[in-house]
Amino acid sequence: MPFQKGFLWGGATAANQCEGAYDADGRGLANVDVIPGGPERRLVTSGKRKMLSFEDGYFYPAKQGIDLYHHYQEDIALFAEMGFSVYRMSIAWTRIFPQGDEEEPNRAGIAFYRRIFEECRKYGIEPLVTITHFDCPIHLIEKYGGWRSRKMIGFYQKLVRTLFTEYKGLVRYWLTFNEINVLFHLPFMGAGIVFEEGEDVYRTEHTAAHHELVASAWAVKIGHETDPENKIGCMLAAGTIYPATCRPEDVLAAQKENHRNYMMIDVQSNGTYPNYILKEYERNGFPIPWEEGDREILKEGTVDFISFSYYSNRTVSAEEGQDPDKNSIFSGTRNPYLKASDWGWITDPTGLRTTMNDLYDRYRKPLFIVENGLGAKDTVNPDGSIDDDYRIEYLREHIRQMKTAVEEDGVELWGYTTWGPIDLVAASTGEMSKRYGFIYVDLDDHGNGTMKRSRKKSFFWYQKVIRSNGEDLD
């Protein structure tokens, strides 16, 4: 049996993509609330178009999400029915600190997550909590400029201290920042940054990166001090990057691109900046904004495990701009050997095994796959059933590779959570029709529908996978 007893099987969500109830019980406004669906979404998430409040003529999908806020009992019961032993979810920062810089937390927000965790525990489900999944209070963006400000570290410390104290004994697995490397691709989502006219983008992004790294290290230290049982991980948008050909220049280009991707978690796992980025900073005349104690805390606050999302991977060539892959937020060229999903995301199960090996070789720490899945359109049959064989096929092939990485390559893996076990709002497009779930939610891209939940074919398939601890994938 490749997976040890106690291997954690489950699914993952993010507060802003499912909770809705954006202003319930004292919750404050966050960047994720004011990101509209539609063509301007990318401009906003990348910090190029300033939108810090709701504007007329736009649809904001996070306002209602799938209303998990009011459906959580029903939803967690369905997760339990599938046999989940872990549920990865995130905290909405603005439910706990509505403005971000208050002295006292919002008790109603704390009570909400306590109810969620207790509900999970009722079924023996281990919560795995992402402290920030792309969210940042609007007030902190308006007043301090988001993560470009050093002050954010203090606000984040307060948030994590509150969470670790309040949920001691209820939560043991934590992630500090979701897909921390996304900061360099979608800075408004990753760091609450809206660029000013003429601003030095490189400098701002890397300053924010340092602040997030120091904040993450503090979270690890505070978490361990509060409860030595806490296991605290980093989270990478992963996928080993391939060279377009075996031409040495392409291989080198791929290595450089991999460095760029690993940079943040190299610091989170090793406690120091790697030389390749220090040299780049030297060349670019960027001084890391070190302050007293930063070097020590980075060393003290190294993560216990490496978590990552894996959907697809990239291919790069030394020739810039060659046959670009337009469907990705990352740069890269098309890979002729691999097919893409309806949204243009490359599908490569073997790449999951390669990625697991690369991460394990690099860090020698346990891994946790916290996102994997296929975003696809579903059709509801007249009798209400949904035959999502394409989703089953995608997951089956990835789980096979994950098994091989464990069984044959000896990679240490703690668990696997598929992305969006229940349909939710897509982060990149804001659509509901890009569905990942085992559970269908009756809601369209404009927010219309009954929100009724129903089981897809994949629901019963995943139930079987979990019951057999990954043995029965048919």
Residues that bind ligand BG6 (CB under 6 A): 14, 17, 178-179, 237, 309, 371, 375, 419, 426-429, 434
Contact call for residues 117 and 127 (beta carbons, < 8 A): yes
| Of residues 236 and 253, the one with the C-beta less far from ligand BG6 | 236
Contact call for residues 178 and 265 (beta carbons, < 8 A): no
**Nearest approach, Cβ of 43 to ligand BG6 (angstroms)?**
16
Q: What is the CA radius of gyration of the chain?
A: 21
Contact call for residues 402 and 353 (beta carbons, < 8 A): yes
Question: At how many degrees (to 10) do helices 151-166 and 201-226 cross?
Answer: 30
The distance from CA 127 to its chain's CA centroid, rounded to whole angstroms, is: 15
For 425-451, give the DSSP string.
--TTT--SSSB--SEEE---TTS-S--
Contact call for residues 223 and 303 (beta carbons, < 8 A): no
**Nearest approach, Cβ of 428 to ligand BG6 (angstroms)?**
3
**Nearest approach, Cβ of 18 to ligand BG6 (angstroms)?**
10
| Of residues 427 and 466, the one with the C-beta less far from ligand BG6 | 427
Rounded to an integer, what distance in angstroms lies between the CA atom of residue 386 and that of residue 379? 6
**Nearest approach, Cβ of 358 to ligand BG6 (angstroms)?**
19
| Of residues 250 and 445, the one with the C-beta less far from ligand BG6 | 445
| Of residues 399 and 426, the one with the C-beta less far from ligand BG6 | 426
Which pair of tokens denotes residue 191? 């760091």
Which pair of tokens denotes residue 267? 């610091």
**Nearest approach, Cβ of 178 to ligand BG6 (angstroms)?**
5
Q: What are the backbone angles phi and psi of residue 320, rounded to the nearest 5°?
A: -65, 145
Closest residue to ligand BG6, Cβ-based? 428
Q: Which residues contact 229 (CB under 8 A, 6 or more apart)?
A: 172
| Of residues 9 and 311, the one with the C-beta less far from ligand BG6 | 311
**Nearest approach, Cβ of 300 to ligand BG6 (angstroms)?**
27
Active site members? 179, 371
| Of residues 310 and 459, the one with the C-beta less far from ligand BG6 | 310
| Residue 404 falls in which region: left (phi positive, over 0), alpha (psi -120 to 50) or beta | alpha
| 8-state DSSP, 293 | T
